Structure 1
Amino acid sequence: MTTPPVDAGHDRADVAPVRADGWWQDSPVAHVVLDGDAGLVVDVNRTFTTWTGLLREDVLGTPFARLLPVGDRIVWTTHALPVLATAGRVDEVSVQVLGVGGSRHAAFLSAVRFTAPGLGAGEGQDGSPDTDPPVRDGRGNPAHVVVALFGARERRRYEQELLVSKRAAEASEAQRARAEAHLQHLVHHDPVTGLLNRTGLHAALSEALGNGPGRDDATARLAVVFLDLDGFKAVNDSVGHAGGDDLLRVLGQRLRSALRPQAVVARFAGDEFVVLEVLRTEDDAVALCRRLLAELTVPVVIAGVEVVPSASAGIALADVPSDLRAEPTGTGAAACDAECDAAADALLRRADTAMYRVKSRGRGGLAVHDPAAGDDAADRLRLLQELRAALAEGEFRLHYQPRVRLSDGTTTGVEALVRWQHPVRGLLGPAEFIEVAEASGLIRDLGAWVLDTAVAQAAAWNATGNGVQMSVNLSTRQLNDPDLVLLVTSALARYGVPASQVVLEITETALMVEPENASVTLQALSGLGMQIAVDDFGTGYASLTYLQRFPVHELKIDRSFVSAVVDSAADRAIVGACVHLARSMGLVSVAEGVETEEQRQVLVELGCSVAQGYLFSPARPPEEVSQRYGGADR
């Protein structure tokens, strides 16, 4: 993992620790202190840096969401932050935290907001003035959010200490036994479904690999089935979180009833379940998985609403006792435990990878992990090499998607979208390669090519009298490139395109990486007459205070909200709020991903200004755009 850059504009005085006492620094729990908006990290304790391997100075000023994987960022922004805003605290959210080198650390996240308007310096424990001021928000009021992260190891140590305390306090052996059994159940079981939780699953899997279930049968294989519910968020949106918990309980019981008593079933996290079973062949594992998927798809009535669940499944198998369970290379039980833990992690990871391959193909199916598929790191390295060659060989293309004014249906402009004409895989969309290009830094060269090609095409259409506004996407790395302004002005001058004809689109997340640098760069570009659009609005974590700092002209509402605007009252309210916000700030509201006439009608009712999507036209090569709207292609 590349260590997140520190916010260059965050004053070091504002990142003084809330409390530098030794008990806080060396607490058994990792602590992260956020600013009043719960956005930026202003302090961490030593436990956090030891746990993740990250350096304190590299974490300060970083948006907290960047310390979480993409899936958990969504949980943080769409679940935890709203609860924190209304209730002032969040309890026991299961997440993973990104550490050094991209490592992931499972943890339970709790957060609480502290505010003390008008509070000055207090008194220390000895009665002397406390010179360590509280963290203050952007308006000068002392405010901060403290996040506690119970890592797996720290959690186990904490629970062991609780167990020791319990045992010391209990007078009889019977009381100690009951307390221990109760605590063990809490530690290893999910409170919603009653199934094993992630901790219990890992223990069961490690034990299975270490003891070798079916050791008397040379053909026995340990199968891990990783099940992820499809569209679970929609269920929560329609029947609420309590209804979602009811659905999880029903589905968990179905899985338990469909398995032999010896099998293990666990709720891994959120809407994910894992099943462990000893079988003979891969076909047996596939048959088991199909039976489980069929059980899950039986309709169930939740809060008066009939829900038809579906799931995607991944399967990984290990021979018992060979394959993953090799003979220990060290000595003693500790060496065996370490090897079994590593093997358990590997097997879960393989099943998870297979499941996500199903998700990428459209969900609602199963896949068996293919050992010949190679690891993700090797695949990314191979893709990076191909990307470099593609840029040198001119394999990239720009397609253009029209932007339509909703009031009269007039095409007001186009958005330039990059495609890769892969020599083997065919035409690839940006989802196949942009993440690798961004992470490697190749996005700078690719982004420069996109900008130059889009401006050249705008000039070609201008020459025919059919000029339209050209929208071009900028990546996070491009936005923080000190040569960006020169690159843009050079392209405009080279092709004679006025700055007012170009819209630069930046994601909400990109604005928050280095907000001070972003503000300076965008002010310079806006000063040239260029329009600035905030893309994917509503999916990031920028506060309205930050939004006001930037010279923004458009808000592009993310397609995830637009797609459900007809059927979901919640998404309709979000879209309406975005449109209202844009109007109140004097900005243009643009809806992305409009695919149906019903969506268009709702957007018109909400007062949205501009839209784009398959309803109007997919992104097309320049020659097809020219034929449809008139003009020339370059």
Structure 2
Amino acid sequence: MTAVIATGFAAVAVVLVLTPWAELSSAVSVGPALFLVVAAVVGELRPVRFVSAHSEARTLTTSAPFVLALIPVAGVGVALIAQLVASAVDDIRARRPLPKSLFNAAQYGISISSAAIVFSQLSSTAPLGIATPLSPGDVGALLLGGLVMIALNWILVAIIVSLSSGVPLRSILGGDTRVFIVTNLVLLSVGGIAADVAADGVWALTLLAAPVVAAHIFAATAARHAHDATHDSLTGLANRGQLYRDLERTLSAPSTRACGPALVLIDLDHFKDFNDTLGHPVGDTILRTVADRLVGAAPLGATVHRLGGDEFAVVVCADIDAAGGVARELLHSLEEPLHVESLELLVRASAGLAVAPEHGDDVETLMKNADIALYHAKLERDRISTYATEYDINTVERLQLLADLHAALDAGQLRVVYQPQFDLADRSVVAVEALLRWDHPDRGAVAPDDFVPLAENSGLIFPLTAYVLDAALAQEARWRQAGHDVRIAVNLSARHLSDLALSGQVSAALDRHAVPASSLVLEVTETGILSDPARADVVIKAVRALGVAIAIDDYGTGNASLSYLKRLEIDELKVDRSFVSNISSDDHDLIIVRSTIDLALALGLRVVAEGIEDAETEEALRALGRVIGQGHHLGHPVEAQEIDALLASERAPARLPTER
């Protein structure tokens, strides 16, 4: 840049000093010259920018033909002044930094001076003089000078971009070349005609407006189509296809292999909640804001892409440590609340990181490993995860299991079983809990602890819960028709407590099966409540307003807090099995369970004790107050038909068949 700036301004200085201004003032036709100067300035302010992943490597303006025409009409000095003024106005309007503005002016100084030299050498015109009217040979010389001018501008800018980005010069010069060259040839032809007809006055020059405008429209349309093919229409970021091309270029550039490239994949957490609750227009605004923040936080030379949905990618030249810092800065840029209309929204994200060549030396491997790292970050709630080989086997297996779970939901491999809950005072069945089971065709029975976390982290938990709720309420309707008045309990994940549409979905399911809301209990965990207490409060109140009961599941295993028992409107407390199962042998557990039961009953809550595995535990709980019991000693999770038989006969819970 220093070399170009020094050479360019030296050329400008030489031209301006040596130009015979006095002689030119009497020889130049002011009207045509002024027209060409104004046209050059206007043309510079309406450029066509061609697609470039790294910088504005190529810009086409309609100023070129008029600047070229000024060389024989008013002299190279006037042509230089017109171009420098036009460039300065454009730089000020675009707020370009001073080094870039100086570079722009200098490269114009070099290219226009070179064009004037070519013209004077191939024609009978003095280097700093004018030539009107032009002979046919002079027009050809001017066109060759114009080609030199365009080529020098193109090459100088491409060299700077190549040096700064590490991308090979051939790649910078490639792409849209045909449109760029064809349009410039048309414009240069117009410049030759303009120089030839300038002697006929301003009116003759105005006739050239139509071909110039047509060339501009042609180039702008081609550039727009090229841009649309490689960029996301919502955010304006480069798209997935462009990401692959960027990675291929940087992986093939020797100068970048010493520092990556690093690929950072970013996925917004729970973005579906924003879309479902606030609507897609708000979701689109969030995505645009996130895109702007990522671009602002990305280091110089990095490229930011939107891959679709709420997933973004950043390619940066960095080693593993530096790339980790980049990922932290990117996520940090999202920590400030987003203001959308009258809302203040907090958006969190997770990031997966893979760096070449350690984590792959081709595009497909790097993408796969970054995706595995992202999946690990979301699963383990680490926010940022760098790929490690041990993630690969585990993640591939989990991804396959998740794909199988998707298929199982459609193929009917899932079923709902029911575990009874008994009033320990009289051993009557008062409720059943609906539990999801998965019979995999190859793996056999898959434990809920293996597939439920996968569903929660992938968003599949929503259709799974909808399936359980629908099946449970359908069964509840059949029991009620048979004269059995029992409650049905369904588990909710933490993600449901962020879903403001939950109450509407529950209401629709109750109406669909004609089940009264008082027959349904929705179980939530302490962790789910405390992950977003304000929103959980809103969701729980909306559900309870329907008449549905809310139970706190696994009470005591999370961040148990008396404050949320006071603040939240709940109906039932389920004491976790880790305390209940040992009360006959551990005095500390007995004290904890007794205190919890006393507190809950004093607050007017139902109490369910989970994990009753033997008769001693049942007897100890019966002595602590009006408690509902649940556990394998009382009854295993079984098919609905077994519950039918139990409700019909009220047999002893200990003889209830085990799950088959």
What TM bracket, shorter-length normalisation? Answer: 0.3 to 0.5
**TM-score scaled by length of structure 1:** 0.42
**TM-score scaled by length of structure 2:** 0.41
Higher relative contact order (CA 8 A, sep 6+): 1
